[in-house]
Structure 1
């Protein structure tokens, strides 16, 4: 991707080879290694350190909240960064170093609250690296190759997650202790996190040192997206809207406090109130600061992004339900134990790691199949099919009694996961201008984070309605995934999309 000073600059963004796309996406192997260790084992660590099942969603709030704050800021900054290391790669590197630190220390947490704090550090660090990787594909690839680029990321996500999710189970098979005393994390989890930190750092270093970036002025010259026309700024109307959000949010918080509603609903009220505060702050500010730019870009976002917001909401609500409640559901229903010191519980928790590895393995295979699906059916119908498979997979966990059969459930989940990580970005790809690629990928993350915050605030309430059975939360997640697939039919299909497979 280096341009020679002796050759003319191409008039359009060059098409990259398979191995160039491979190298630029390889860092996602490490990012997802850390992310998968987090998803498969953090609930286990929390339970081991004394967390009750209905408190776990609150402890998990670190993950979506850090993404909500970090990703748009990192996207905005990376759009305006140009160093000797490039535009996005400095953020890859900083995030990798911090995430490695968190992975090394999390299984050694002496208390529940230190573990929860390290989850904040880990998730923020992963977000620092992950957000620029999404923009990196938009920077480096022409529109016709972007679906392939995001599918390649899905492939590495699948491969990294398979190995990471299997690690505690594999270590137990090799004789590493899989049980420990009360309040102690088993050795299998310790060694898995140490290995994961090394892999995360190594994979991102590979991408940093094997890729180059186009300077901003060249990206602007090659921009394939239409400019985004700013919407009219009616300060009075914006202030009235802000007051409506504030009043609704504060009234909801007051109702939670006075009517005896579940305490988790404070999060939902706080989310509404915070949005009103941010809108009101924007009406009082002048100038061209980062906050003003992000808020204005949020208001000006393309129609395609608005349509995809609904798809993302139902998709990520379902995924968060799966990540939070699969361990509790499988250990209590399929292995018959909720005692974190028992062999049955830890065997079931390890099997959840195997299941998570399985769905990520199927996602890696799906990443190879999806470009062929897109060629035949288009982006929208392909995503509908995959989301429906994922929904049916989650619902089937409540049907199968033999834990071995849950591997079949993971086939559908894997196809949905690969699709969620690639096709919405491909649908969005021709709507975002190059100079705002980072900030809009960060804003797009709002529609990943907000449903997770909604899940944190509502799923514990729903679980109590269903007799504190975590299995029913997986069924609700499956229904949500199917709704996401149906909503994608409202989204405009890009004029150009990739038709080649991600194979050499």
Structure 2
């Protein structure tokens, strides 16, 4: 994956923003002050670092709740006596709704018109719902109570996730979006590592409520950043990229296309996410049930996985540019199969370190290059369709992967080690599918 290099910094100067219309003419939007201009539109050729850091802080804060959720909720559900099958069902059932809801919310935000912009109202409504419901997760003492808190948390997340991502298209010209997205994703990875390590430490020191108070507090900080510092234009400054297509439109296009190369690639994406999302959902229980590692210590260990991913994300794109995406993805798949098989025999926290670091490295080789490789398999389809198919496959696997792994654990006598074998099987299946894909 090629990341564009930012051009040389120029001198700051307040101007009236314009947008290029379809006939090529420049149309004035509205005059803005130099302070507003700092957040709206950088001078010609200048990459807006400050704006990107503020957006990244917003996304990082709002994204830190998910690692805390994934790590501690399975433990809470286990403590009230649920089986692995029911645990994974409670964790993932609401994602069926989110698969349909997020594209709809994204399209609704396109047509929203308010004094503070199109996207920010959705962020300012969704984030408070999510952070408030998130606080109630550790307070619930029944499966139904936890399910309700989870649903409301993810409902709030679904309200702001798509509009929040759309801000990148509104605020950056096309040649800067890859770099902006890369920086924001880097900050998301840092946030995940902090959530695991900080949440684990707080759990050990102060109990089950502390990680969730921490996550909600950070999300509240992100909400303040969004409200006071992310100044959204009433109309986009740049022509936006093509929007993600809805689920039904994407599936209809897939059936009509009869592109077997695309089908093999989607099969690979579905398979490797089936394996990896199951591992993510059950890692805390693997540590507690199979290895006897307390949740607070396991949280600090799991932070090594996103940390390794962060370090290898940019090199993964560079290697794919040099040697080809298919080859690098296959290296990542082969590495993860081997690491997952090793994970089955892990007996101590030190051996777990030897699993988590290479797992994050090999996952970066796959994940960073998966969407660009999917684009390569169907260059004639519009980008929105491809993106819709990608998120459909990844979201479907995020539901099915953990649920099937939970069934396997129950069928094998509560043996959580079998999640490693489950992951290795689906990674190997992904390798078979990927070997049939014809891309560089």
Does the alignment pair 1:22 with 2:41? no
CA distance in 1: counterparts of 2:84 and 2:19, whole angstroms: 62
More off after superposition, 417-426 vs 347-356: 417-426
Secondary structure, counterpart of 2:161 in structure 1: helix
CA distance in 2: counterparts of 1:358 and 1:395, whole angstroms: 19
Secondary structure, counterpart of 1:26 in structure 2: helix
Q: Residues 33-53 of structure 1: CA distance to partner in whole angstroms, max 9, x if unpaired?
A: 100001111101111233233
Does the alignment pair 1:125 with 2:156? yes
More off after superposition, 53-62 vs 413-422: 413-422
Residues 377/159 of structure 1: CA separation in 2 closer, same or farther (3 Å cut): same
Aligned to 2:215: 196
Deviation at 1:327, TM superposition (A): 2.7
Secondary structure, counterpart of 2:198 in structure 1: helix
Aligned to 2:280: 323
Deviation at 1:354, TM superposition (A): 2.0
Deviation at 1:443, TM superposition (A): 5.7
Does the alignment pair 1:153 with 2:99? no
Does the alignment pair 1:91 with 2:86? no
Secondary structure, counterpart of 2:47 in structure 1: coil
Residues 325/457 of structure 1: CA separation in 2 closer, same or farther (3 Å cut): closer
CA distance in 1: counterparts of 2:227 and 2:13, whole angstroms: 14
User: CA contact under 8 A between 1:143 and 1:429: conserved in structure 2?
Assistant: no
User: CA contact under 8 A between 1:88 and 1:133: conserved in structure 2?
Assistant: yes
CA distance in 2: counterparts of 1:54 and 1:71, whole angstroms: 26
Deviation at 1:25, TM superposition (A): 3.0
Aligned to 1:451: 397
CA distance in 2: counterparts of 1:396 and 1:305, whole angstroms: 32
Aligned to 2:30: none
Which structure 2 residues correspond to residues 220-369 of structure 1 after superposition, within 5 A?
220=239, 295-300=248-253, 308-335=265-292, 347-369=293-315
Residue-pair matches, total: 403
**Unpaired stretches in structure 1, ≥5 consecutive residues:** 177-186, 229-289, 336-346, 495-504
CA distance in 2: counterparts of 1:436 and 1:85, whole angstroms: 29
Secondary structure, counterpart of 1:445 in structure 2: helix
CA distance in 1: counterparts of 2:110 and 2:379, whole angstroms: 13
CA distance in 2: counterparts of 1:135 and 1:429, whole angstroms: 19
Residues 217/324 of structure 1: CA separation in 2 closer, same or farther (3 Å cut): closer
CA-based RMSD of the aligned residues comes to 3.9
Which structure 2 residues correspond to residues 67-146 of structure 1 after superposition, within 5 A?
67-141=98-172, 145-146=176-177
Deviation at 1:331, TM superposition (A): 2.1
Which structure 2 residues correspond to residues 200-211 of structure 1 after superposition, within 5 A?
200-207=219-226, 209-211=228-230
Does the alignment pair 1:376 with 2:322? yes
Q: Residues 150-185 of structure 1: CA distance to partner in whole angstroms, max 9, x if unpaired?
A: 433332222111121123432366xx2xxxxxxxxx
Deviation at 1:409, TM superposition (A): 1.1
Provide TM-score, normalisation by structure 1: 0.68
Aligned to 2:5: none
Aligned to 2:73: 42
User: CA contact under 8 A between 1:361 and 1:414: conserved in structure 2?
Assistant: yes
CA distance in 1: counterparts of 2:56 and 2:394, whole angstroms: 21
CA distance in 2: counterparts of 1:111 and 1:136, whole angstroms: 38
Q: Residues 367-423 of structure 1: CA distance to partner in whole angstroms, max 9, x if unpaired?
A: 343343344334444444344444433332212222222112112332355456643
Aligned to 1:468: 414
Aligned to 1:479: 425
Aligned to 1:58: 89
Does the alignment pair 1:4 with 2:23? no
Residues 71/307 of structure 1: CA separation in 2 closer, same or farther (3 Å cut): farther
User: CA contact under 8 A between 1:88 and 1:132: conserved in structure 2?
Assistant: yes
Residues 443/40 of structure 1: CA separation in 2 closer, same or farther (3 Å cut): same
Aligned to 2:38: none
Which structure 2 residues correspond to residues 435-450 of structure 1 after superposition, within 5 A?
441=387, 444-450=390-396
Aligned to 2:3: none
Provide TM-score, normalisation by structure 2: 0.76
Deviation at 1:207, TM superposition (A): 4.5
CA distance in 1: counterparts of 2:289 and 2:320, whole angstroms: 40
CA distance in 2: counterparts of 1:311 and 1:367, whole angstroms: 20
Q: Residues 252-271 of structure 1: CA distance to partner in whole angstroms, max 9, x if unpaired?
A: xxxxxxxxxxxxxxxxxxxx
